[in-house]
Chain A
Amino acid sequence: MADSPTPVAELRAGDIPAGWSYRSLTEKITYIVFYRRSRLPWFTGLALCLLLSLMFCAAVGYLLFNGPGIWGIAIPVAWGYAIGNYVWWIGMAQGGTFISAVLLLVSQTWRRSINRSAEAMTLFAAVMAGLFPILHLGRPWFFYWLAPYPNKMELWPQWRSPLVWDFFAIAAYLLVSLMFWYAGLLPDLASMRDRARGRLTQVLFALAALGWRGEARHWKRHQTAYLLVAGMAAPLVVSVHSVVSLDYAIGNTPGFHSTIFPPYFVAGALFSGFAMVLTLLIPMRRFFHLEELITPAIIDNMAKVMFAVNWVLIYSYVAETFTNFYSGDPYERYMSLDRLTGLYAPVYWIQIFCNVIATQVLWWRWARRNLTVLFILSLVIQLGMWIERFIITVQPLHRDFLPSAWGAFSPTRWDWLTLFGSCAFFVLLLLLFVRLLPAISIHDLRGQLHEQYGSSAGKPGQQSGQRSAEQPT
């Protein structure tokens, strides 16, 4: 332990600066839920998201009443925003799972201060992702026909269809994400219960904490269970998006029918997921004054991982285009040329700018640690990844085999409303999450403190300077 505290900016990733105790950590995090007064920006955001979410509900209602013809889809482009949005959301979710499950399994301690919000983001994004395939259907009320449930007609799903695989992939993913998130939350819910002052909050957190008392036995079993769920979640990181990619790759349309799709999609998913976690963490860190817990080193690490998968993605772009030309198949070649020069080329080049050119700034350390740059970049990446999914879905379909059947897709106001509405609903869930549940894992950070400072950790006064920014009154 150093005599003078290391500056926050120079801490190793995952390290907590000196001066924190178990108590001050817990108070710092629970304070956000229990005591911090909600300020105008939060209320403004909430109101805005609520309004947009209501419009989203109206758009969905209108959709259910009239049918998918309110969107811009037609023949030949029968898949549009709904599918693009779905892939976008599910991809985003993947990044969160990677942070919480894979980094846990490979003992990356720097995940500890970000895994909770990453998991929450995963869950909410997966919920949004789950909505779109249903809304996309011509008759959404029969979506459960994809499930193999026993029925008098003895009809089962058609197992050769990737959509059935997809159904299982999403369902499994949603369940595992929820379990993983909840398992991680459990000790913290108990901490919340213990700190809650109102009777109602006490009861609610107590119910949610499932009788957690912090016994050693509890901890032991919790750790086993948590690792097990992480073990289940980790392969899902790869499998879910691979299955999603098969929705395209199994199809025979030039531009869909490509074996590179599974790794390509997984890379894209991780890329967008990391960007999304950054998009969330950077404002959260600032608004809730978590600079010492979410240190620049963590952000830097995230940017590095993001940049690494970005290069896998860039490789995929190149490989896909190259293979299309190398194959000699005139339809594949035409599709690639059309992507580069055709109707949707301007959109495609925006995608290339967002996902290939803009990210090159991450070569520089200052950029990886400059939160403004990273925040803007993360938004640019979100845009780029959404465009990627749009291009993958729409562009190959609009010009496939027979020129007579060629058409174009242009979105309607309902397309935009469902897209932005789903974003608003997602942000609404996050806004509520940061005010209702501990946004950073308390027990994980306590563990970190223990690992870092040994048994002396957590005793107030023993470290140089009590650190606790805001104390409950």
Chain B
Amino acid sequence: MKSPADIASPNVLTQMRGTDALTAPQQERRRVLGLMAASAALVGAGCSAPDERYLVPYAEGPEQLLPGVPVLYATALAERGYAIGALVETNDGRPTKVEGNPRHPASLGSTTPQMQASVLQLWDPARSSVLLNRGQIGLWPQLQTAIESQRAALEQSAGAGLHILMRPSTSPLLASQLERIRQRYPRLQIAVYDPLASDSQPAGTQLAFGRALEPLYHFDRVRVVVTLDADFLQGQPGSVRYARDLISRRIPDRGADMSRLYAVESTPGLIGALADHRLSARPDQIEALAYRLADAFAIAAPAAPAQSPAARWEQGLLADLRAHRGACLVIPGDGMPPAVHALACALNEQLGTPGVTHAYLEPLGYQPTSAAGSLDSLRMLTEAASAGAVQLLLILDGNPVYDAPADLQFASALARIPQSLHLSAYVDETSAACTWHIPATHPFEQWGDLRAYDGTTSLIQPLIAPLYGGHSAHELLDLLTPLQASEDHAQLQALWRSRADADFDQRWRGWLRAGLIDGTAAPAASARLQLTTLPAPQFARSPEAQPVATAPAAAVGSAPAGRAVQLIFAADQSVRDGQWSNNAWLQELPRSMSKLTWGNAAYVSPRTAAALGVQTGDEIWLEQNEGSGLPRQLRVGVWVLPQQPDGCITLPLGYGRTSAGPVGDGVGFDAYPLRLAAAPWYGQAHARRAGTRWSPALTQRDQTLHGRDELLPLATLGQFRREPRFATASEDERVPDHTLYPAYPYPGYKWAMTIDLNACIGCNACTIACQAENNIPVVGAEQVRLGRVMHWIRIDRYEDDRPEAVDPLDTAGSARTRTLFQPVPCMQCEHAPCEEVCPVDATVHDSQGLNLQIYNRCIGTRFCSNNCPYKVRRFNFLQYSNQSVEALKALQNPDVTVRRRGVMEKCTYCLQRIERARIAAELEHRGVRDGEIVTACQAVCPTQAIRFGNLNDPQAQVLMTKASARNYSLLADLNTRPRTTYLARVLNPAEPDRG
């Protein structure tokens, strides 16, 4: 019998890396046993000695813990370096589910999809588990020796040649640690690079206020919002909160004036789908529009081309802005040039109310040394490395070999650095190019702190001992100081002890419990507008940016064949810049605008596609010979999107990974090789038909309503005021009164749900939260193509062009169809068609009105799915749940059955949560109170679109939402009597009346 220590030796652990969440090969029995033993040893024994003082092994059960009762720990997860508060559910010490922290300002109880997926990331068996030195297994002491041997020389040269490359971070602990190191090595250079960071934003505030500042918006106090290629509903540090704030002003039954949203987009996104007025425009047109706006409000700016392609739209916008002066906000996009950001600042000073609608904060993130921005700092590092001036480079997380702009040629510069250390959770592209790879801890395995978008600081506390023996950034940085490294926990406490007044220990416990440190929100900076001169529009309208439909074919000669197109680079909605590539949940999460999973696609407008002679499913070549180096070519799959502006091709980043792990490798195409440092968001290329095809893995193939408008009733605010019950106006839209069977009274609980389509932004958080809560397996691209995705709540997307849906101001007619979202979980019909046809009573109704699925009893006739008009049932056509990887078993929610093949499954209204609350209530001899049961989808929803509760409780919120005039049932005339109902969408276009 081996001791755990032997089993946990690196050899066994490297074997573990080979196993795959999805396609785990049939391994030989011995190896499986070995892996199981290794995992057991890892989980049970814990590896890193220092943590054991705070993380107690379960050999002696802590007395306050009850087996089977989950414990929530408050911590925070980073979104681009900023904290979003989280409560992580642990079951017997295993983190299994992330919830938002209701007390945290950036969360208010909700999370991003990525936060939901972070538990899968934690348990991912493909995570790096071993330290590597030039590809060979190394040990931490070896690394220590290697650094120590260099330290003397570095200290003598005051740190010349010592560089640190990190991702953006707001951690006060990291900042203080870096400051200490900088004192020791004054010539240390720190670069901060994030491929998705916007350098325009600090540069723009610099232009406007004379120094870099961070804007903070209060969308709940805004009447008119204008976005200029800015999708603030996702991917921003404040996105979750911003979505909540924005939607709080967009519920028409609440009486308050409904806010109006104008979105100008070069890439269709969630904000455009939500907007009352949406305009597709090329980046240069958006820039020109910003200049014209500035001009209209007498802001000193160089004149923009006066001619507007959407003059009526702009006039409408201007009129609205003038009418609501003091309650408007203009939000510039990350890719817009600094001048547009500066103009937006100036506009907001006029149109908004500083201090009410928005504020500016001193930068919260760690700033790179002597560089003008994130990209600039990376460029300086690359130049230094190419010149041979870098002796030792520490890369703290991040994957620059993969995601640095192509023309920087970071990889070849990195190869010239004699000693490079890469701390990351996966052995990725950068790890392979560095001399050392150090496995990183997951945020759930370490101590730390982070600040939120408004400055509020959260403590990060470990929930489990490092599963794969990782190290934190703090540990790695400690190698640079000669003193005996102190633990992260001690450092963190020391830092905050120095900032706290008396009674630190008690406060510390309070902070850990609350998940944030009170009173750390950043004060608004006093910013005085000092906009003097602005540069001329940067995206001068080049001939290449002309719509391809009218552009002549490229001249023969040196120019590459094909039509000139403008490239737009965007973060992928799921895998972002590529850091989530190995996460199967996120890979299988359909992108909101295309319903595409497992890959990315080049989004092309219909006219551009026609000009190129392609359609969805075809591939095109993109060729670039601008910038330095050889012409670059990329073959990409086409996805035709009606809202895409003509001549613009959007390329989502984060795909085409070669060293992401077994899940993410080889999925999609890598757009980074076409991304240049000079213009990281918008590029140029020539496109031509490749003649080859690709096969998108879609969860929804048909995205039009086929005239079935009754599925999604729509009205403008004016129509709604005149006819509040527009959604149930015709008889077909009402539940019939008659039925053959006597009504069942449901005397006790009567669970029901409403989904407010005015609040739903289509962000997918509910889908992935449900997946995490209910042990829903991933099926892989091939099974998705076949139509076997397992999500219990899906978000339907429709293109609609009925009169109410189209933008009345957009006369261009290019992209007038509106994107509508509709989340569809099980309707929990009172007259459930599925129940009648099950031959073995495997799906039945309970006394609370729940439509139950009994997995044990199901024999898999699939009749229930056929008979479900909503097609919300999901069948295990094959063995989908992974039963062979131990780490993934630990991830499962113990309260939910893991389904085997051959059985049907579907949304249960989170039955396990209902039962938990019922049991708790019964123990106290009372009924379940409203709000005690929160379904997973409801909890995660950033905009609180989903309400759940007991219809027999007169205080229940769901009773109030059901009472809304907008309440309607999907396919009501089938008399299924769904318990899940919808609140119909009401738009607020500027044109007051259209009959």
Interface, chain A (partner B; CB < 8 A): 66-70, 72-79, 136-140, 142-143, 145-146, 155-158, 160-164, 167, 247, 250-253, 256, 330, 334, 397, 399-408
User: Shortest beta-carbon distance, B741 to chain A, in Å?
Assistant: 11
Enumerate chain B residues within 8 angstroms of A66, measured Cβ to Cβ. Answer: 878-879
Enumerate chain A residues within 8 angstroms of B833, measured Cβ to Cβ. Answer: 251-252
B window 693-736: CB within 8 A of A = 700-708, 711
Tally of A-B Cβ pairs under 8 angstroms: 165
In the complex, B608 has a CB within 8 A of chain A: no
Could you tell me the distance between the alpha carbons of A96 and B800 in the complex, rounded to whole angstroms? Answer: 53
User: Assuming A167-B839, A401-B870, A402-B870, what are 9 further A-B pairs, CB within 8 angstroms?
Assistant: A66-B878, A79-B866, A138-B862, A139-B902, A251-B863, A397-B866, A399-B702, A402-B796, A405-B870
Contact partner of B902 among A138, A162, A167, CB < 8 A? A138
Could you tell me the distance between the alpha carbons of A446 and B149 in the complex, rounded to whole angstroms? Answer: 110
Contact A400 B871 (CB under 8 A): yes
Contact A69 B870 (CB under 8 A): no
B window 835-862: CB within 8 A of A = 835-841, 857-862
Contact partner of B877 among A67, A136, A397, CB < 8 A? A67
- Would A402 and B711 be within 8 Å (CB), given that A160-B836, A161-B838, A161-B839 are in contact? yes
- Would A161 and B863 be within 8 Å (CB), given that A402-B869, A402-B871, A403-B798 are in contact? yes
Could you tell me the distance between the alpha carbons of A78 and B701 in the complex, rounded to whole angstroms? Answer: 17
Could you tell me the distance between the alpha carbons of A212 and B711 in the complex, rounded to whole angstroms? Answer: 70
User: Shortest beta-carbon distance, B94 to chain A, in Å?
Assistant: 29
User: Shortest beta-carbon distance, B128 to chain A, in Å?
Assistant: 33
Contact A162 B824 (CB under 8 A): no
Contact A67 B974 (CB under 8 A): no
Could you tell me the distance between the alpha carbons of A156 and B861 in the complex, rounded to whole angstroms? Answer: 16
Give me 24 A-to-B residue pairs in the complex whose CB atoms sit less than 8 angstroms apart, sorted by A's number.
A67-B876, A67-B879, A68-B877, A69-B783, A69-B877, A69-B878, A69-B901, A75-B787, A78-B875, A79-B862, A137-B859, A138-B859, A161-B837, A161-B839, A161-B863, A251-B833, A251-B866, A330-B708, A401-B708, A402-B708, A403-B705, A403-B706, A404-B797, A406-B702
In the complex, B786 has a CB within 8 A of chain A: yes
Over the window 788-815 of chain B, the binary record of Cβ atoms lying under 8 Å from chain A Cβ atoms (1 yes, 0 no) is 1000001011100000000000000000
Could you tell me the distance between the alpha carbons of A140 and B835 in the complex, rounded to whole angstroms? Answer: 20
Contact partner of B839 among A68, A77, A164, CB < 8 A? A164
- Would A401 and B901 be within 8 Å (CB), given that A72-B786, A163-B863 are in contact? no
In the complex, B903 has a CB within 8 A of chain A: yes
Enumerate chain B residues within 8 angstroms of A72, measured Cβ to Cβ. Answer: 786
Enumerate chain A residues within 8 angstroms of B974, measured Cβ to Cβ. Answer: 252, 401
In the complex, B278 has a CB within 8 A of chain A: no
Enumerate chain A residues within 8 angstroms of B877, measured Cβ to Cβ. Answer: 67-69, 73-74, 138
Enumerate chain B residues within 8 angstroms of A256, measured Cβ to Cβ. Answer: 866
Contact A74 B794 (CB under 8 A): no
Contact A138 B837 (CB under 8 A): no
Contact B706 A334 (CB under 8 A): yes
Enumerate chain B residues within 8 angstroms of A401, measured Cβ to Cβ. Answer: 708, 869-871, 971, 974
- Would A404 and B860 be within 8 Å (CB), given that A75-B874, A76-B787 are in contact? no
Could you tell me the distance between the alpha carbons of A322 and B598 in the complex, rounded to whole angstroms? Answer: 44
In the complex, B865 has a CB within 8 A of chain A: yes
- Would A405 and B871 be within 8 Å (CB), given that A158-B838, A158-B839, A252-B833 are in contact? yes
User: Shortest beta-carbon distance, B819 to chain A, in Å?
Assistant: 13
Enumerate chain A residues within 8 angstroms of B840, measured Cβ to Cβ. Answer: 142, 145-146, 155, 157-158
Contact B702 A75 (CB under 8 A): no
- Would A137 and B902 be within 8 Å (CB), given that A75-B788, A145-B859 are in contact? yes
Contact B704 A403 (CB under 8 A): yes
Enumerate chain A residues within 8 angstroms of B863, measured Cβ to Cβ. Answer: 79, 161, 163, 247, 251
**Size of the chain B interface, CB-CB below 8 angstroms:** 55
Contact A400 B869 (CB under 8 A): yes
Could you tell me the distance between the alpha carbons of A247 and B837 in the complex, rounded to whole angstroms? Answer: 9
Enumerate chain A residues within 8 angstroms of B241, measured Cβ to Cβ. Answer: none
Kindly report which residue of chain A lies nearest to residue B973, judged by CB atoms.
A329
Enumerate chain B residues within 8 angstroms of A164, measured Cβ to Cβ. Answer: 839
Could you tell me the distance between the alpha carbons of A8 and B844 in the complex, rounded to whole angstroms? Answer: 64
In the complex, B867 has a CB within 8 A of chain A: yes
- Would A139 and B787 be within 8 Å (CB), given that A163-B837, A401-B971, A404-B700 are in contact? no
Could you tell me the distance between the alpha carbons of A343 and B875 in the complex, rounded to whole angstroms? Answer: 24
Enumerate chain A residues within 8 angstroms of B822, measured Cβ to Cβ. Answer: 404
In the complex, B816 has a CB within 8 A of chain A: no
Kindly report which residue of chain A lies nearest to residue B784, judged by CB atoms.
A74
- Would A75 and B836 be within 8 Å (CB), given that A402-B824, A403-B702 are in contact? no
Q: Which of B786, B869, B874, B901 has the most CB of A within 10 A?
A: B786
Enumerate chain B residues within 8 angstroms of A136, measured Cβ to Cβ. Answer: 861
User: Shortest beta-carbon distance, A165 to chain B, in Å?
Assistant: 9
Enumerate chain A residues within 8 angstroms of B971, measured Cβ to Cβ. Answer: 401-402
Contact B839 A163 (CB under 8 A): yes
Enumerate chain A residues within 8 angstroms of B869, measured Cβ to Cβ. Answer: 252-253, 400-402
In the complex, B873 has a CB within 8 A of chain A: yes
Could you tell me the distance between the alpha carbons of A401 and B707 in the complex, rounded to whole angstroms? Answer: 12
Contact A253 B839 (CB under 8 A): no
Q: What 3 A-B pairs have minimum CB-CB distances, sorted nearest first?
A: A138-B860, A138-B902, A69-B877
In the complex, B904 has a CB within 8 A of chain A: yes
User: Shortest beta-carbon distance, A341 to chain B, in Å?
Assistant: 13
Could you tell me the distance between the alpha carbons of A138 and B863 in the complex, rounded to whole angstroms? Answer: 11
User: Shortest beta-carbon distance, A465 to chain B, in Å?
Assistant: 61
Enumerate chain B residues within 8 angstroms of A76, measured Cβ to Cβ. Answer: 787, 865-866, 871
Could you tell me the distance between the alpha carbons of A276 and B329 in the complex, rounded to whole angstroms? Answer: 76
Contact A67 B902 (CB under 8 A): yes
Kindly report which residue of chain B lies nearest to residue A160, judged by CB atoms.
B836
Kindly report which residue of chain B lies nearest to residue A405, judged by CB atoms.
B871
- Would A137 and B706 be within 8 Å (CB), given that A251-B866, A402-B824 are in contact? no
Kindly report which residue of chain A lies nearest to residue B796, judged by CB atoms.
A404
Contact B862 A69 (CB under 8 A): no
Enumerate chain A residues within 8 angstroms of B879, measured Cβ to Cβ. Answer: 66-67
User: Shortest beta-carbon distance, A75 to chain B, in Å?
Assistant: 6
Kindly report which residue of chain B lies nearest to residue A144, judged by CB atoms.
B859
Enumerate chain A residues within 8 angstroms of B708, measured Cβ to Cβ. Answer: 330, 401-403
Could you tell me the distance between the alpha carbons of A74 and B835 in the complex, rounded to whole angstroms? Answer: 20
Enumerate chain A residues within 8 angstroms of B865, measured Cβ to Cβ. Answer: 75-76, 78
Enumerate chain B residues within 8 angstroms of A408, measured Cβ to Cβ. Answer: 701, 787
Could you tell me the distance between the alpha carbons of A267 and B878 in the complex, rounded to whole angstroms? Answer: 37
User: Shortest beta-carbon distance, A304 to chain B, in Å?
Assistant: 38
Contact B700 A139 (CB under 8 A): no
User: Shortest beta-carbon distance, B147 to chain A, in Å?
Assistant: 52
Enumerate chain A residues within 8 angstroms of B797, measured Cβ to Cβ. Answer: 404
Enumerate chain A residues within 8 angstroms of B837, measured Cβ to Cβ. Answer: 160-163, 250-251
Could you tell me the distance between the alpha carbons of A251 and B904 in the complex, rounded to whole angstroms? Answer: 18
Enumerate chain B residues within 8 angstroms of A155, measured Cβ to Cβ. Answer: 840-841, 857
Contact A253 B866 (CB under 8 A): yes
Enumerate chain A residues within 8 angstroms of B788, measured Cβ to Cβ. Answer: 69, 74-75
- Would A250 and B836 be within 8 Å (CB), given that A67-B877, A139-B903 are in contact? yes
Contact partner of A406 among B701, B707, B835, CB < 8 A? B701
Over the window 631-664 of chain B, the binary record of Cβ atoms lying under 8 Å from chain A Cβ atoms (1 yes, 0 no) is 0000000000000000000000000000000000
Enumerate chain A residues within 8 angstroms of B839, measured Cβ to Cβ. Answer: 145-146, 157-158, 161, 163-164, 167
Could you tell me the distance between the alpha carbons of A91 and B704 in the complex, rounded to whole angstroms? Answer: 38
User: Shortest beta-carbon distance, A434 to chain B, in Å?
Assistant: 36
Could you tell me the distance between the alpha carbons of A167 and B838 in the complex, rounded to whole angstroms? Answer: 13
Q: Which of B708, B787, B878 has the most CB of A within 10 A?
A: B787
Could you tell me the distance between the alpha carbons of A41 and B549 in the complex, rounded to whole angstroms? Answer: 66
Could you tell me the distance between the alpha carbons of A385 and B798 in the complex, rounded to whole angstroms? Answer: 37
Contact B867 A74 (CB under 8 A): no
Kindly report which residue of chain B lies nearest to residue A409, judged by CB atoms.
B787
Could you tell me the distance between the alpha carbons of A158 and B843 in the complex, rounded to whole angstroms? Answer: 10
Enumerate chain B residues within 8 angstroms of A139, measured Cβ to Cβ. Answer: 858-860, 902-903
Enumerate chain A residues within 8 angstroms of B970, measured Cβ to Cβ. Answer: 402
Could you tell me the distance between the alpha carbons of A257 and B401 in the complex, rounded to whole angstroms? Answer: 59
Enumerate chain B residues within 8 angstroms of A397, measured Cβ to Cβ. Answer: 866
